[in-house]
């Protein structure tokens, strides 16, 4: 069976957009990628359609939804995208066998919904290592150089388990151990050269989606 993998898309200037590499990695992993427009009210339909999901990277969470002021340095996520993706993740919480991969912003959604705490601006001593470029991560997923592009990170992950750290101690990957395959990574596997922490993340997702 070819698993159908739904990939969330950004909203920008009247368009739905997503990096082509996400789809290419899903195809290479043996899946069929479907780009998901952020249309509230369609969560049930896309869940019926898809065997697994990728919540892609993007702008920063608007924290007022959780009673917290959004940091002045944030580039706010499109409100309709945020509403759709949060709602979709909440629906998926009732489907523990459906695999989910969260990338960068996607991992942050996971952490916030699990009761975690988002550090909205990394301190200067960490920022240079994470804003753009490559750095090492290590943990349950392996030890390798990954591609990163972010200025925010989870400082606490609530009910999730931390499964990878950066070389400077920043949380880089999380997992819900009570679900079949629910993994968030702060790096960008679609732009990571290392096989296990790059393409391998999509391979694992598609394998989980065929079970």
Give the CATH number for residue 163: 3.40.50.880
Nearest by Cα to 185 from 195, 196, 171? 171
Is the full-model pTM beyond 0.85? yes
What pLDDT, on a 0 to 100 scale, did the predictor assign at position 185?
A: 98
Give 178 or 132, the one with higher predicted confidence. 178
What pLDDT, on a 0 to 100 scale, did the predictor assign at position 108?
A: 97
Sheet of strand 100-103, all strands in order from the earlier edge strand to the far edge: 32-36, 4-8, 52-55, 100-103, 182-185, 171-175, 161-166, 133-139, 142-148
What pLDDT, on a 0 to 100 scale, did the predictor assign at position 99?
A: 98
What pLDDT, on a 0 to 100 scale, did the predictor assign at position 129?
A: 75
Nearest by Cα to 106 from 156, 160, 57? 57
Confidence band of 145 (pLDDT split at 50, 70, 90):
very high
Distance CA 104, CA 90 (A): 18
Domain with 160, as residue range(s), is 4-209
What pLDDT, on a 0 to 100 scale, did the predictor assign at position 97?
A: 97
Over residues 41-48, the mean pLDDT reads 95
Counting the structural domains of the chain, the total is: 1
What pLDDT, on a 0 to 100 scale, did the predictor assign at position 173?
A: 98
For the chain, the average pLDDT equals: 95
Percent of the chain having pLDDT more than 70? Answer: 100
């Amino acid at each position: 069976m070819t698993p159908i993998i739904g990939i969330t898309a950004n909203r920008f200037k009247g368009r739905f957009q997503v990096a082509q590499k996400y789809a290419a990695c899903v195809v290479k992993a043996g899946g069929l990628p479907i780009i998901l427009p952020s249309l509230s009210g369609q969560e049930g339909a896309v869940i019926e359609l898809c065997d697994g999901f990728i919540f892609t990277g993007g702008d920063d969470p608007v924290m007022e939804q959780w009673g917290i002021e959004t940091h002045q340095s944030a580039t706010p996520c499109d409100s309709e995208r945020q509403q759709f993706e949060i709602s979709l993740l909440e629906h998926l919480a009732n489907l523990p066998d459906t695999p989910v991969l969260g990338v960068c912003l996607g991992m942050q959604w996971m952490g916030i919904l699990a009761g975690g705490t988002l550090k909205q601006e990394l301190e200067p001593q960490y920022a240079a290592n994470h804003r753009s470029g490559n750095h090492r991560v290590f943990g349950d997923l392996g030890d390798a150089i990954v591609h990163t592009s972010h200025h925010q990170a989870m400082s606490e992950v609530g009910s999730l388990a931390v499964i990878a750290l950066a070389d400077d101690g920043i949380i880089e990957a999380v997992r819900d151990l009570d679900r079949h395959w629910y993994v968030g990574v702060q790096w960008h596997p679609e732009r990571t050269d290392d096989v296990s922490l790059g393409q391998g993340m999509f391979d694992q997702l598609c394998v989980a989606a065929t079970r």
